Amino acid sequence: MTNPNSPYIVYPKPVKHMVFLKNFIHNPNITIGDYTYYHDNNYPEHFEFNNVRGGFFCKLNIGKFCQIATRTTFILDDMNHDMSGFSTYPFAVFGELSHYTAPEEKGRPTIIGNDVWFGTNAVIMPSVKIGDGAIIGAYAVVTKDVAPYTIVAGNSARVIKQRFSDNIIEELLQIKWWDWDYNKITRNLESITGCNISSLRNAI
């Protein structure tokens, strides 16, 4: 019998609007951490096909405990066209052009930290890195890296504010509560969801 607290539970809620994403990923270039969920009233199981653009040879890494709202989209680097020539058209789509050598397949990964919250319809552009604890506003278009525990919003996304002081953020990044086991996390929920760093520190 599957542990009811396992990240391998498919639907964490009785209604099937939310899924633990790692159970629905087939592309080896996409990795999803434990307890990261996607919420969508229409087939959240189809996240890999509806919300990720690319992934043919570029990687998307999403950490643990991320919260991904409806229609959040990740555009990976292999969706970019080569801009070094006179045309950006990918002529390799014509199979009979055997003499044509397509640009080398390469691209930088998109890396998402842990405990990141994505608002509805957020768009994450290629090769972006988003730090732990960041918040991405609804309808934001993220074109640049986002520092840990920073809130961004808008198109293109701009920094709204830093969630905590530099000292607190540094300590949170060292504590890494998301790497604790499930029982330790649940025992310390008040410390994790509160803003008492000394209490969280003592939980280590």
Which residues have a catalytic role annotated? 81
Burial of 161 (0-12, 13-18, 19+ CB in 10 A): exposed
Q: Given phi > 0 = left and psi -120 to 50 = alpha, else beta, which region is 80?
A: beta
Torsion of CA 29, 42, 80, 89, to 10 degrees: 120
Place of tokens 């397949």: 105
Distance, CA of 43 to CA of 71 (rounded, Å): 11
Length of the chain measured in residues: 204
Which of 138, 151, 148 is CA-nearest to residue 69? Answer: 138
Q: Given phi > 0 = left and psi -120 to 50 = alpha, else beta, which region is 29?
A: alpha
Which of 115, 166, 118 is CA-nearest to residue 138? Answer: 118
What phi, psi does 192 have (nearest 5°)?
Answer: -70, -40
